[in-house]
């Protein structure tokens, strides 16, 4: 069992916890026996849901009654104490008892408590929040998604290196194309930070990724670029816009195919294609934002996702550890 990937799980964060979290673990364990779960939270509640559905050789429960609330500010969460399920789960990776930590709880609190407990990787000034986005050809890594509102050119260069390292950890057979999110594709477009970052990446050859210049918002889903880099303000706006657009399309499709007899007949005739389309836009399949730049990766599952979404974020944890993300970042940042 020593070769299992040890995942620290904050079982008390997010909507419907701990049941949703435990159901996600149960679902993940059905298809993957490579993980050992250190589950932090109320033992009575957790035991009730996990019961005998997961082999006891693949998990242990670390009991605590204290939790970080969804309404807590980051400061309130930090003051709530060092024995909350979120704090203890992060502390376990600090002590090297686990390999990676995941929580569906309060995002701001998670980032602050992580930064209080974990060291930065040497030569990286700011951590970044990254996530996977679907595109026409597969998946892209996008960062920063809100951890840093203001960034300098060095930060964006660091994000490029970290994002490429993350992509290589998840998809080791591919060499990623990296681009800066901008308002145009011409070299003269954008603010001074963007233009300076362009020159730094363009002048510095990197064996770990190909620099593809600028990318505009309407090209994000084309699939020509695998790592998309921006400051946290721009990245967060782009993320929320993409999420809202996907939800709008799905809701309008439901109305069009269910509102009339012709629509219902059409949906029956095209049920296979419709299922494929909905699956492609299903946010549960891309659940799991990754806080990178610290000496241990921290994964944030969406608080409103269901057990399937949480299970998928556990898959992300598994791939990150197996892909030696931290070693890749350290090696690449020093080059």
Name the pTM for this structure. 0.86
172-181, 183-192, 277-286: which has the highest mean pLDDT?
172-181
Task: State pLDDT tens for residues 20-65.
Answer: 999 999 999 999 999 999 999 999 999 999 988 898 899 999 999 9
Are 213 and 298 in the same domain? no
Residue range 75-105, pLDDT digits in tens: 888 887 789 999 999 999 999 999 999 999 9
- Of 261, 286, 311, the one marking the end of a domain is 286
pLDDT at site 256: 64
Does 245 score more than 90 pLDDT?
no
Residue 147's pLDDT band (cuts 50, 70, 90)? confident
Cβ–Cβ under 8 Å, residues 159 and 229: yes
- 278 and 297 assigned to the same domain: no
Comparing 22 with 234, the larger pLDDT belongs to 22
Give the closest residue to 102 by CA, choosing from 330, 288, 321, 293.
288
Let me know whether 91 and 141 are in one domain. Answer: no
Over residues 118-139, the pLDDT tens digits come to 999 999 999 999 988 888 888 8
Specify which residues 133 forms β-bridges with.
Answer: 140
The total of structural domains in the chain comes to: 2
Q: What is the mean pLDDT of residues 238-258?
A: 74
Write down the pLDDT at residue 244.
79
What distance separates the 2 farthest-apart alpha carbons in the chain? 63
Q: Over 60: is that where the pLDDT of 266 sits?
A: no
pLDDT of residue 276: 63
10, 93 contact by CB (below 8 A): no
State the pLDDT at residue 258: 64
pLDDT at 267: 55
Tell me, what CATH number does 203's domain have?
Answer: 3.40.718.10
Q: Are residues 213 and 324 in the same domain?
A: no
pLDDT tens, 284-329?
676 778 999 999 989 999 888 888 999 999 999 999 999 999 999 9
65: containing domain: 1-124+293-335
Q: Are residues 266 and 305 in the same domain?
A: no
166 and 97, same structural domain? no
Q: In the predicted model, is pLDDT for residue 4 greater than 70?
A: yes
Residues 115 and 143 in one domain: no
**272 and 327: one domain?**
no
Question: 169 and 254 in one domain?
Answer: yes
Q: Tell which residue, 187, 122, 200, has the closest CA to residue 154.
A: 200
C-alpha 183: how far from its chain's center? 25
- Same domain as 280, residue 132: yes
SS3 183: coil
What is the per-residue pLDDT for 77?
A: 84
Domain shared by 164 and 228, yes or no: yes
- How far, in whole angstroms, is CA 187 from its chain's centroid? 30
- Other Cβ atoms closer than 10 A to 60: 10
Q: Determine the pLDDT at residue 223.
A: 86
97 and 235 share a domain?
no
């Amino acid at each position: 069992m020593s070769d299992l990937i040890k995942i620290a799980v904050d079982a008390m964060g997010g909507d419907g916890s701990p049941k949703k979290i435990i159901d996600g673990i149960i679902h993940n364990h059905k298809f993957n026996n490579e993980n050992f779960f250190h589950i932090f939270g109320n033992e009575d509640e957790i035991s009730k849901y996990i019961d005998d559905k997961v082999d006891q050789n693949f998990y242990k429960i670390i009991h605590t009654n204290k939790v970080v609330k969804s309404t807590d500010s980051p400061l309130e969460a930090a003051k709530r104490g060092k024995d909350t399920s979120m704090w203890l789960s992060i502390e376990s990776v600090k002590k090297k008892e686990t390999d990676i930590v995941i929580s569906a709880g309060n995002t701001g609190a998670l980032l602050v408590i992580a930064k209080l407990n974990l060291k930065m990787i040497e030569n990286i000034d700011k951590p970044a929040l990254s996530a996977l986005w679907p595109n026409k050809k597969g998946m892209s890594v996008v960062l920063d998604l809100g951890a840093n509102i203001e960034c300098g050119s060095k930060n964006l260069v660091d994000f490029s290196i970290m994002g490429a390292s993350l992509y290589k950890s998840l998809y080791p057979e591919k060499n990623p194309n990296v681009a800066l999110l901008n308002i145009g594709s011409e070299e003269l477009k954008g603010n001074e930070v963007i233009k300076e970052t362009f020159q730094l990446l363009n002048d510095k050859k990197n064996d770990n990724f190909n620099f593809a210049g600028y990318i505009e918002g309407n090209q994000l889903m084309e699939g020509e670029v695998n790592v998309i880099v921006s400051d946290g303000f721009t990245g967060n706006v782009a993320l929320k816009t993409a999420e809202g657009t996907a939800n709008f399309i799905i809701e309008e499709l439901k109305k069009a195919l269910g509102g009339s007899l012709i629509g219902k007949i059409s949906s029956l005739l095209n049920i296979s294609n419709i299922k494929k389309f909905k699956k492609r836009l299903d946010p549960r399949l891309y659940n799991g934002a990754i806080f990178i730049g610290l000496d241990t990766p921290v994964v944030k599952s969406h608080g409103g996702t269901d057990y399937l979404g949480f299970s998928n974020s556990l898959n992300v944890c598994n791939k990150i550890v197996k892909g030696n993300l931290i070693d890749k970042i350290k090696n690449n940042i020093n080059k």
